[in-house]
């Protein structure tokens, strides 16, 4: 397997089959290069269309970051900031808040950074003590594959939140669903209903778990975990079915826009998945065949598919935090 340092002077990165990955985590399964950050920007646009803004629920976040209520400069953390676009746009929308974007690598495609926004290198799996009660909002979007213990992470995030602070969780499920919303991930090739996109997504999920990460399936447990942790209250969730491509009849303009952005995003993801699957030992001929079939499914929309996007949230109680 062709795995070399992407830059011999920078041990933060490694190269796998021409794509740059972070060397700081064996669990995270997607690249950390400009091509991937452009994909994340497209994903960001899609999620904004779904909820008509940067965050949901909007009233809760706006109240939490109202400087007249805070009585001081508010703090916002974007965990797994990726391209940094969410952190930058939040800093612009809330100039009275200081926004921190944290990830294993720095953003690569930003053209500007507002005065109230900064980026830090950090691993969400490690100690959060230096951020104790530093933030009013902690946002985590599509970070599951790099997290070893997601419920433990939710516990640790509570340490960073001020009383009445808000945690926001966003992720599409890792499952691909049919037009009738049947789970397609566990169907075997050659059987009725088999789907190449679902087969690839399932293979990526299995490879991620073998490397010690989680899959987006953990999103199914978010609200229960938040309710079980004594530092959270006001737990809520919203689920949105998004067609992969604007094939669904009756979509309004925003629905068609979100569906098309998701379709483009999945096309990019198929390429992003390839290096790690081959590194894991999957047969190249098999992965090439699945990838070709998946691109055709997405391009033609002959296979009508959905993803389910989940938005979960909770408010920090005043209970003193203690480690597990």
Cα separation, 119 vs 114, whole angstroms: 11
Lowest mean pLDDT, pick from 21-25, 85-89, 164-168: 21-25
- Asked if 304 and 259 touch (Cβ cutoff 8 Å), the reply is no
- Output the pTM of the full model: 0.91
For the cut 50, the answer to whether the pLDDT of residue 9 exceeds it is: no
Whether 4 shows a pLDDT value over 60: the answer reads no
Q: What's the rounded mean pLDDT across residues 262-267?
A: 96
Mean pLDDT of 313-323: 97
More confident residue, 57 or 175: 57
Mean local confidence (pLDDT), 235-253: 97
- For the chain, the farthest-separated pair of C-alpha atoms sits apart, in whole angstroms, at 62
Cα separations in angstroms, 53 against 46, 57, 109, 195, 225: 10, 10, 21, 32, 26
Task: Outline where DSSP puts E strands in the chain.
Answer: 3-4, 13-16, 19-22, 74-79, 97-103, 117-121, 135-141, 161-172, 177-178, 232-243, 305-316
């Amino acid at each position: 397997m062709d795995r070399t340092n992407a830059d011999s002077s920078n041990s933060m990165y490694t190269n796998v089959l021409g794509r740059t990955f972070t060397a700081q985590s064996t669990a995270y399964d997607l690249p950390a290069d400009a091509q991937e950050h452009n994909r994340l920007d497209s994903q960001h646009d899609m999620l904004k269309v779904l909820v008509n803004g940067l965050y949901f629920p909007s009233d809760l976040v706006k109240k939490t970051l109202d400087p007249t209520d805070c009585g001081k400069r508010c703090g916002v953390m974007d965990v797994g900031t990726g391209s940094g676009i969410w952190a930058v746009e939040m800093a612009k929308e809330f100039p009275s808040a200081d926004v921190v974007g944290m990830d294993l690598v720095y953003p690569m495609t930003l053209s500007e950074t507002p005065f109230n926004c900064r980026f830090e290198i950090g691993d969400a799996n490690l100690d959060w003590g230096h951020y104790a009660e530093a933030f009013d909002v902690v946002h985590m979007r599509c970070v599951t594959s790099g997290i070893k213990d997601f419920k433990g992470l939710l516990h640790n995030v509570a340490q960073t939140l001020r009383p009445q602070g808000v945690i926001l969780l966003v992720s599409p499920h890792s499952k691909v669903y049919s037009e009738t919303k049947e789970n397609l991930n566990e169907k075997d090739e050659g059987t009725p209903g088999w789907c190449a996109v679902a087969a690839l997504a399932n293979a990526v999920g299995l490879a991620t778990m073998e490397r010690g990460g989680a899959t987006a399936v953990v999103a199914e447990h978010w609200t229960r975990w938040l309710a079980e942790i004594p530092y959270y209250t006001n737990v809520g969730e919203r689920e949105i079915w998004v067609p992969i491509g604007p094939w669904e009849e009756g979509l309004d303009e925003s629905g068609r826009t979100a569906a098309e952005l998701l379709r483009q995003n999945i096309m990019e993801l198929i390429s992003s998945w390839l290096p790690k699957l081959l590194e894991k030992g999957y047969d190249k001929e098999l992965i090439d065949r699945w990838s070709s079939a998946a691109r055709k499914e997405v391009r033609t929309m002959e296979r009508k598919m959905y993803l389910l996007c989940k938005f979960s949230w909770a408010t920090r109680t005043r209970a003193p935090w203690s480690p597990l």
